[in-house]
Structure formats: C-alpha cells, structure tokens
Amino acid sequence: MFATVLRFYKQGRWSDDEVHELSQRTIRDLLEKFAELPADPEQLRSRVEAFATMTIRKYVGGRQREHGRRTAALYHPRTPSRQMDSGLKMRQLLALVRQELRNVRTPFRVSFLRVIFGETPKRIAKELGIPVGTLRRRVWQVRRVLDSAREQSRRTPVRYRT
C-alpha cells in the first residue's frame, strides 16, 4: 500500500503532507482494527481486504472533499483524468494489499507497527512466541526497505499539480 502512495508522491499527485497524513491514518486504523487477529488465514484475509477497501474509499473520497470539491466530483469529474485518478488509486491499493497478504505473515506486520509506536521488541516477541532476534531481524528488514524507498523519493523531483 505504501508503495502506491510513494509512486503517486513521486509522480507529483500527492504532496508531502498528504502522504504523511495518509500513512499515519492507515497505521492508526490498522492498530485499532487488528488488536485481536483471527487465527483462520482465510478469515484474516477477508477481514483485511474489507478493511482496506473501506479505508481506501474513505481516504480517496476524503482527499477530494478536503480540496473543496463535492463527493459527486469522484463520479462526475470536470476532466476524465480525475475520475481515472481516484478509481485507479483504489484498484492499485487493493491489489497491493492482496499481494502483500499472500506472502507476509500478518503478526510480523502488526508487531512492526507496534515497535514503531514504542513497545519493546522483547514484550512483543514474548506475546508472539518467537525469539527476539527473529523479530528484530524482520523489523530491521522492513525498516531497510522503507529507508531505501524514502531515499529514492528524495532523489526524484516532485511535480505538484496546479
């Protein structure tokens, strides 16, 4: 999901503040919604997909309204590109969520978010029943990917839409 946000940011569609706000809202919502995770993988997948759909619709729509346009602007834009924009964002974000769910064990993703918010790795590792070294290694890998993405976005010139 953050890869798409980063891509739109690099293309100049979203500003720094919008990207930061979207990522903070998403992290906060994830922490609230997934405090208790179901054990069944299929149930977990459907729950995350439903949450992602709702979140994306809410934020893509909210972003349009914040810019002074009515909600109808999502469906009846002044130019065809705006309609493509919001629909394309939603489809791409959903595809990324589904793709990530196939390969990544969700407890590690949630534990990574909790480490970001200041809980100690020892306590989280104990709750998950895994060695602390494994948790730290996974968190380090994710942080490395995020850092390289941030570095790459700094090197790319940003064009703002007028």
Q: What is the pLDDT of residue 32?
A: 56
The three-state secondary structure class of 37 is coil
Q: What is the pLDDT of residue 71?
A: 42
In this model, does residue 124 exceed pLDDT 70?
no
Q: What is the pLDDT of residue 67?
A: 46
What residue ranges do the domains of the chain occupy?
A: 1-103, 106-156
Q: How far apart are CA 8 and CA 53, in angstroms?
A: 18
pLDDT tens digits, one per residue of 22-31? 666 665 565 5
Q: Which tokens belong to 89?
A: 């964002």
Q: What is the pLDDT of residue 148?
A: 64
Q: What is the pTM of this model?
A: 0.27
Average pLDDT over every residue of 12-18: 62
DSSP 113-142: HHHHTT--HHHHHHHHTS-HHHHHHHHHHH
Q: What is the pLDDT of residue 59?
A: 47
Q: What is the pLDDT of residue 70?
A: 42
Q: How far is CA 100 from CA 3, 19, 40, 45, 51, in A?
A: 11, 20, 17, 10, 14
pLDDT tens digits, one per residue of 75-91? 444 444 444 455 555 55
Q: What is the pLDDT of residue 126?
A: 72
In this model, does residue 136 exceed pLDDT 60?
yes
Average pLDDT over every residue of 8-33: 59
The helix (run of H) or strand (run of E) holding residue 32 is helix 16-33
